[in-house]
Structure 1
Amino acid sequence: MAACGLDFGTSNTTLGHLGAAGPQLVPLEDRHVTIPSAIFFEPNREPVIGRAATDAYVQGIPGRMMRSLKSVLGSGLIEETTPVGRGRIRFRDVIGRYLAAVKARAEDAAGASFDTVVHGRPVHFVDGDAAGDRRAEETLRAIAEGIGFRHVSFQYEPIAAALDHERSVTREEIALIADIGGGTSDFSIVRLSPERHARAERADDILANDGVRIGGTDFDRVLSLGTVMPLLGLGSPMRRPELSVPNAYFHDLATWSSINRLYNARTLREIAEIFRDGARPELIARLRTVIELERGHSLAIAVEGAKIAASDGGASEIDLGWVEPGLSAAIDRAALVAHTAMLAARISERVGRCLAQAGLRAEAIDALFLTGGSTGLPHVRAGLTACLPGARVVAGDTFGSVGIGLTIEAIRRAA
């Protein structure tokens, strides 16, 4: 039996263990050490996870796609059920099925059985709700125990990233760790050094922890609401004066974890009524097509791809010809920044809160360590570096730093 570190992320998951060369991540999908946090249920078959789940959905295989599973932790959705084939399954059981498959793959690749896990967790699963935060952790603990882990403990994800960064530190420094992932943005201020790295107890070295439930999927949602959903009727008027089309459908369709809630007969009946009473029925017809075809994830995947392209300085034309011939949506860097600037600003505000919690001025921070996929968004990165103009900027392994740090912690706790 062995210990592992598990980074179950909103967008991607990694699992690490003690290998021949030290802490290392285990291949979870072909040669990839990262696997998307996605699962696809095909009728009368075992579910598939990761890239294979997305491929099955894109190929049009009948079934149910779910992604951004971690987002439901701490929300009322966790105990709700979603249709799968002819039955229904709780969201917590969906997470269990996904993590059980990850665990089995990792054990097969590592040639070891894992009974001990250090689970990563955000600083706040739920903003401003301590009780909800505790429930989210306990839910994740119960899921981990349910899939075969006998010993389950947790570590904040930015602290884990700090442990990875500390391996390259040559002298004592104070670092602000920014882990901007798919679902949350988490920060820690930590005192690091080669000598401290060998210590088992590091509580005194953690000077501050803070976070906010904003991540890459929120950028996807806001970008979708600003550029794609108006083409499907968001903000369009009803025939009755001063009334607009209800916006709840569009918010669900733009939110990874809520898309499947729309796939039911009641929603289609409601949309039929809006089509009848709306002043722009041709737009509502597009919305109806997306839901009838259960293609909400196709929209989300396209928006996410356009976001990434815009982050790299390019522009994307999202082809919506499958909704209506000739229909498309354009997204470039300017549109990305315009629609998501407020999110980026809210993330940067947490740096000041973290400094205040630690009782430090910005000049005291020697290094700004960046990890998580959303640190690739230029305006997010610019906002963070502007808060700490004198700090050395260190780019960590975008998707692997937290997993390696959790593995370091798991090895330490198991010793």
Structure 2
Amino acid sequence: MTFCAIDFGTSNSAVAVPEAGGGTRLIALEAGQSTMPTAVFYAVEPGSPQPPELHYGRAALAAYVDGFDGRLMRSMKSVLGSPLVTQDTDLGAGHRVKYLDVITAFLRHLKVQAEAQTGAPIRRAVLGRPVFFVDEDPARDAAAQDALATAARAVGFEELRFQYEPIAAALDHERTAAREELVLVADIGGGTSDFSLVRVGPRRQDKLQRQDDILASHGVHVAGTDFDRRVELEAVLPSCGFRGRGPGGREVPSRVYHDLATWHLINTVYTPPRVAELRGMKDFYADAAQHRRLMKVVQQHLGHALGALAEGAKIDVARQGRADIDLSLLEPGLRAALEEAQALQALDADLQRIAEAALETVRRAGVAPEAVDALYFTGGSTGLKPLTDRIAAAFPAARAVRGERFASVAQGLGLHAARCFGVAH
């Protein structure tokens, strides 16, 4: 039997399989790419009893952007460990699905892709997991892994192992380590910021059990999707009335805006009772245009599109210092701007919390920050330079090493899987 290793990420996922002649390789999941967005689109035909047609990854995002009837599901990993995982949600046209079944469908798609490219059934797998699915709650954290294991077994994985994602990144980094060193791995993706302080080196590569080399692990449930939410609240949703004022100067209620900026809560704003409630709040707004735009968002289901605009603005600020946001989907000619200083102010608390988690990791190991030899950055959110600069400033003696942001964890999980299942590497 063969095996696979799955990096099931909040924003993107990847799969490693055995390579002929030894070792592992990442498979092409979609359009020749070794990573694909962690997204599922349930396309429904209004009035039809037929079950929804599922689209995955970039195809899922394209189906949503092209305006197909149905429901886009992203950031599914974020619901693990929450009560939502066992609840169902509306897909439209009378169809509903449980959140855990969405995760199961996505894992099944990854498994099918892996089997198609290996030409053999796959019953053994290593799955990555964050250091904490849920902060400061061991019971919910264990429940999150159990839920993910339930989904993995439901698609046919009979022998299942888990490995911490930052440990997997350390294994990937170790392949090129010329000497023994103390590395702080910073794996910062869409849902969590995870850190592990690990001893790596050429003489340690063949060890299957690495517990003694892991000096400490720590993490916080703050990362890329939180940055997107901050940006959306700062630069996009004010056009719809966030922090707006009523005729008497009182600030309008803000709950709807926080829900619109949170991926797994967006659809709760579209329910008929909620829409009716918001429609009745027209007199709360001194600026009638803000209320009109909000109603367009909830009536035309534009919440996910606004989230995508916020994500794009975050990327533009990181690349060029500012973002010019086209809000014409709300109103012709409407635009908003986001400057770097404004974005950094909005993100400051999140960036500081992540940097403090890095320092807490080495404190738990009983190691001084000056003793860290290298910082190994991986995960999509490490493309945000102010974040990596903030972490690096806390470890002045460490050199910064950048892994493949979307592939290091999957490659490391592949190495671990090969060792677990007795394959030469």
- Specify the SS of the correspondent of 1:32: coil
Counterpart residue identity of residue 237, structure 2:
M
Counterpart residue identity of residue 16, structure 1:
A
Q: Distance in 2 between the 1:334 and 1:278 partners? A: 29
Q: 1:245 to 1:76 in 2, by over 3 A?
A: farther
Which of 97, 104, 119 is residue 111 of structure 1 equivalent to?
119
Which of 341, 347, 356 is residue 354 of structure 2 equivalent to?
347
Query: 1:58 offset after TM fit, Å?
Result: 0.8
- 2:15 maps to 15
Which of 260, 275, 282 is residue 253 of structure 1 equivalent to?
260
Counterpart residue identity of residue 357, structure 1:
R
- Specify the SS of the correspondent of 1:47: strand
Could you report, residue by residue, the CA deviation over 1:151-170 in whole angstroms, capped at 9, with x for unpaired residues?
Answer: 11211100000000000011
Kept in 2: contact 1:12–1:34 (CA 8 A): yes
- 2:325 maps to 318
- 2:218 maps to 210
Correspondence 1:132 to 2:140: yes
- 2:29 maps to 28
Which of 131, 136, 155 is residue 147 of structure 1 equivalent to?
155
- 2:61 maps to 54
Correspondence 1:94 to 2:102: yes
Q: 1:259 to 1:333 in 2, by over 3 A?
A: same
Could you report, residue by residue, the CA deviation over 1:83-142 in whole angstroms, capped at 9, with x for unpaired residues?
Answer: 113121111111111111121112112323221111111111111111110110100010
**What TM-score, normalized to structure 1?**
0.97
Could you report, residue by residue, the CA deviation over 1:328-365 in whole angstroms, capped at 9, with x for unpaired residues?
Answer: 11123222212101111110001211111111111211
Matched positions, count: 414
**Pairs within 5 Å for 1:103-252:** 103-239=111-247, 243-252=250-259
Counterpart residue identity of residue 103, structure 2:
I
Query: 1:255 offset after TM fit, Å?
Result: 1.3
- Specify the SS of the correspondent of 2:135: coil
- Specify the SS of the correspondent of 2:132: coil
Kept in 2: contact 1:341–1:379 (CA 8 A): no
- Specify the SS of the correspondent of 1:127: coil
Query: 1:25 offset after TM fit, Å?
Result: 0.8
Q: Distance in 2 between the 1:69 and 1:372 partners? A: 17
Q: Distance in 1 between the 2:68 and 2:91 partners? A: 14
Moved more, 13-22 or 263-272: 13-22
Kept in 2: contact 1:245–1:274 (CA 8 A): no
Which of 391, 408, 412 is residue 401 of structure 1 equivalent to?
408
Q: Distance in 2 between the 1:237 and 1:357 partners? A: 46
Q: Distance in 2 between the 1:315 and 1:174 partners? A: 37
Counterpart residue identity of residue 12, structure 1:
N
Query: 1:311 offset after TM fit, Å?
Result: 0.6
State, as a whole percentage, how many aligned pairs show the same letter: 44
Two-structure CA RMSD over aligned residues (Å): 1.4
Kept in 1: contact 2:23–2:418 (CA 8 A): no
Kept in 1: contact 2:81–2:140 (CA 8 A): yes
Moved more, 184-193 or 227-236: 227-236
Could you report, residue by residue, the CA deviation over 1:383-403 in whole angstroms, capped at 9, with x for unpaired residues?
Answer: 111011111211001000000
Kept in 2: contact 1:275–1:281 (CA 8 A): yes
**What TM-score, normalized to structure 2?**
0.95
Q: Distance in 2 between the 1:82 and 1:351 partners? A: 36
- Specify the SS of the correspondent of 1:140: helix
- 2:47 maps to none
Q: Distance in 2 between the 1:247 and 1:378 partners? A: 30
- Specify the SS of the correspondent of 1:3: strand
Kept in 1: contact 2:243–2:254 (CA 8 A): yes
Query: 1:243 offset after TM fit, Å?
Result: 4.6
Could you report, residue by residue, the CA deviation over 1:281-309 in whole angstroms, capped at 9, with x for unpaired residues?
Answer: 32111111011111111111111011111
